[in-house]
Amino acid sequence: MNAVPAKSQVVIIGGGIAGCSTAYHLAQLGWTDIILLERGKLTSGSTWHAAGMVGQLRSTSNITKLLSYSVDLYARLEKETGLATGWKANGSLRLCCTKERRIEFLRQLTTARSFGLEMELLSPREIETLCPGIVTSDLDSGLYVASDGVANPSDLVMSLAKGARLKGVRIFEDTPVLDVDVRDGRVRAVTTTGGRIECDAVVVCGGIWSRELAKSVGVRLPIQAAHHQYFVTEPINGLRREMPSLRDPDNLTYFKEEVGGLVAGGYEANPISYSAKPSLNDEEFKLFPEFMDHFEQFMPAMMRRFPALSGVGIKKWYNGLESFTEDTNFIIGEAPEVKGFFVGCGFNAMGIAAGGGAGMALAHWVAHGEPPFDLWPVDIRRFSAFHASDRNVLIRSLEGQGHHYAMHWPHFEFQAGRPLRRSALYDRLTEAGACFGGKSGWERPNWFAPVGVEAKDTYTFERPNWFEQVAAEHRACRESAAIFDQSSFSKFMLVGRNAEEALQRICSADLGRQPGRVTYTQMLNERGGVECDLTITRLSQDSYYIVTGTAVGDHDRCYITSQIKQDEDVHCIDVTSAFGVLGLMGPLSRAILAQVAEADLDSKSFPFGQYREIIIAGAPVRALRVTFVGELGWELHIPTEYMVTVYDALKNAGQQFGLKDAGYRAIDSLRIEKGFCVWGAEVSPDDTPLEAGLRFAVAFNKPTPFTGREALVHQRQRPLKRRLATLVSDSPEVILLGRETIYRNGEPVGWLTSGGYGHSIGKPLGLGYIRNPAGVTDDYLLSAQYELEVAGERVSATIVLGAAYDPKNTKSRI
């Protein structure tokens, strides 16, 4: 038993790649009072049996940036520490066998160019040159990234651990953690078999064991332990030692060279979960007997790809446990439930690829209270209350694991665990032909199928089967009226005698206005980046009603509460389930609402940006005169028990006016036409309101200085280095999905943050930032020719400042 110190600034739990990388990077930041605890030996969890393949490209620029950091770190680490890491920049190849996969690859090629990652599309003959012994007769092509590579996981971790020790980090092996002491909502200490350690923060990087530890202190950590198998062969004659690692997603398999032989594994569509709960008594370096009946589904394709496999011996078989998540993204950050409780886990068998960057980001998060840049796709706050369910985590994570090598279709919807959260109108909307999508557990109508059409998505890279239905919903909103069920909005009450004082400090807009006002605002970090993008309605002198996006409820609530001072009388209360929401939008929305509402609705009595408590069909309704689609309309916030009554009344009243049910895909096309931003796409902690064209939402002169004001004042004194704009394609048949590269006079200057089709203008369009270190002025934007790269091909485009759809002046804007 190892005796541990009584105190430490930070305790890291877990001696695998994530834990040792976090310790290394905290030490690099100058933090020396760090303890790392490992229940067995370093790497003895899941790290030691990782395949060690490191790829960089992901679907967002910042996660790609994080993995590229791993590559840079691994390339220099051996020189720094003197310990070999096994790093080899031998590149990676993804193989394409089908027409659909080729389209996916071409879009990934464009994404790589957008993010500045060098990638090539190779022919079968070029693949044969790089990989002697491979059969390419069924291949169309392959994606090659020369800067990807492989590492020896155990050696890599030992090198990181040495680098941490050299800077003062203390590492204790054979020291299991018994519990984490949490009092008054924050971490106080960690109890181990070697004693108790008082600390300010704990970083849980315990792999498959992390979830049970988190659960013991009330933290939701939705990871699932599941089996993953691969084998290592004896040496194969003629195999090139510098052969790039291979992924063959159409056959669900992967390969890499190892000591003259092949590592061969796969990601099945029907993975096997670990039935037992991980415990402190689990043995170190644990492997299971091979599941040959399950693995043999891969063998025919493996032997077709490398015929030499049929005659070579197997040196070692690995059947180990990895932790998986429902969305295939890993989990890092500070838990919303407990202050000072950080996590880094759920790496979906890509821990070596992500570990270097994840440790860097976690160290920054611990040291500075925020990540180094926007990491929302992997942020622990993306999960909701239902993720505390063992059943939900099991079935949803297995579906995510099974999707590892599946086609990455546009608008893809996972199905496991659905339906779960349903609005009061779910049955009504089902009868109306709704095709639902999932968002944070909610069932939300994406589009509505008319009679005779199946309410089901058909996945494709071409024009989707729901295109005409969404077009009809879109046009109804522009020309008559549409009704949207937006009950999944996250909603909070902020109450207390210091509510105004707190919001004036937190928000960029002026929240000191009289009750009855609806204010669109951002909450910023010190850099001026957008942490939250929401509307706030002042109900009374000491109460505000906050509405934000479906998926960001926990994120925004945590940010708001973190900014409230201890001596302030302010309380944030989640009321999401108390209110359903109907969006009634379109030029005839006032006429429809007037049929059933007991209120004056003219612009003088009920102007834009105002809220009123009104009666609709006998029901009390909180009506907000706002719009996210650029048309006359109201958000009607209705006590849940009245939702069906109000919906039925509006539908009946709207029949004579052409009122149409509409879904979220119509909302998306409508808002892109108007140039409206979505948090996580157009605005994020890395983007400022000035860059996003939201200067109107910033009250520079309000009495209370707000967080981020100084950064914005500094930014507005010189030309912006990037600005959000709309790009309209001149090719009506082009499919824009986002991440398409923007070219200005032939030079890449950014990429689309959102893409879609403008049904009012009849053209594809998207939003994206134009970048120029010397400054982006109106003249710079308008005095050039633009193109968009779509699936490897360039198409001409027209830039628009402001809304692409303007009914008063449409032709001049496009």
pLDDT tens figures, 471-528: 999 999 999 999 999 999 999 999 999 999 999 999 999 999 999 999 999 999 999 9
* Contact (Cβ atoms closer than 8 angstroms) between residue 662 and residue 484: yes
Q: What percentage of the chain reaches a pLDDT higher than 70?
A: 99
Quickly state the pLDDT bin for 1 (edges 50, 70, 90): low
Q: Is the pLDDT of residue 782 over 60?
A: yes
Q: Is the pLDDT of residue 750 over 90?
A: yes
C-alpha to C-alpha distance for 756 and 743, rounded to whole angstroms? 18
C-alpha to C-alpha distance for 789 and 111, rounded to whole angstroms? 9
Q: Is the pLDDT of residue 812 over 70?
A: no
Mean pLDDT of the chain: 96
* Contact (Cβ atoms closer than 8 angstroms) between residue 444 and residue 583: no
For the chain, the C-alpha Rg in angstroms (whole number) is 27
- The owner of tokens 């195999």 is 239
Cα dihedral 112→115→117→119 (10° resolution): 20
Beta strand pairing call for 482-485 and 660-661 = parallel
Quickly state the pLDDT bin for 809 (edges 50, 70, 90): low
C-alpha to C-alpha distance for 205 and 363, rounded to whole angstroms? 12
Considering only CA atoms, which of 581, 576, 671, 580 is closest in space to residue 634?
581
C-alpha to C-alpha distance for 335 and 340, rounded to whole angstroms? 8
- pLDDT attached to residue 163: 97
- pLDDT attached to residue 813: 32
Instruction: Taking residues 598-622, report their average pLDDT.
Output: 97
Q: Is the pLDDT of residue 810 over 50?
A: no
- pLDDT attached to residue 285: 84
- pLDDT attached to residue 276: 81
- pLDDT attached to residue 283: 80
Beta strand pairing call for 253-258 and 245-248 = antiparallel
Instruction: Taking residues 635-651, report their average pLDDT.
Output: 98
Domains of the chain and CATH, by start: 7-84+151-224+327-382 (3.50.50.60), 92-148+226-315 (3.30.9.10), 410-481+661-686+719-814 (2.40.30.110), 490-574 (3.30.70.1400), 579-657 (3.30.1360.120)
Predicted structure pTM score: 0.96
Instruction: Taking residues 324-347, report their average pLDDT.
Output: 97
Asked, as a colleague might, if the bond just before 445 is cis with ω within 30 of 0, I would say no
Q: What is the pLDDT of residues 229-278, one digit of tens each?
A: 999 999 999 999 999 999 999 999 999 999 999 999 999 999 999 988 77
Instruction: Taking residues 420-443, report their average pLDDT.
Output: 98
Least confident range from 253-267, 268-282, 646-660, 759-773: namely 268-282
Q: Contacts for 520-525 with beta carbons within 8 Å, 24 or more apart?
A: 520/626, 520/697, 521/697, 522/683, 522/689, 522/694, 522/697, 522/698, 523/556, 523/559, 523/560, 523/563, 523/707, 524/688, 524/689, 524/706, 524/707, 524/708, 524/711, 524/712, 525/370, 525/685, 525/707, 525/708
| Residue 725 DSSP code | E
* Contact (Cβ atoms closer than 8 angstroms) between residue 354 and residue 205: no
Dihedral of CA 544/545/549/554: which sign? Answer: positive
Residue type, 275: S
- pLDDT attached to residue 794: 97
Instruction: Taking residues 175-180, report their average pLDDT.
Output: 95
Considering only CA atoms, which of 551, 544, 438 is closest in space to residue 490?
551
- pLDDT attached to residue 811: 38
Q: What is the pLDDT of residues 354-367, one digit of tens each?
A: 999 999 999 999 99
Considering only CA atoms, which of 57, 59, 75, 76 is closest in space to residue 67?
57
Count of beta carbons in the 10 Å neighbourhood of residue 798: 16
- Express the helix, strand and coil content of the chain in percent, nearest 5 each: 30, 30, 40
Q: Is the pLDDT of residue 582 over 50?
A: yes
- What is residue 432's three-state secondary structure? coil
Instruction: Taking residues 165-190, report their average pLDDT.
Output: 96
- pLDDT attached to residue 57: 95
C-alpha to C-alpha distance for 686 and 62, rounded to whole angstroms? 10
Q: Is the pLDDT of residue 695 over 90?
A: yes
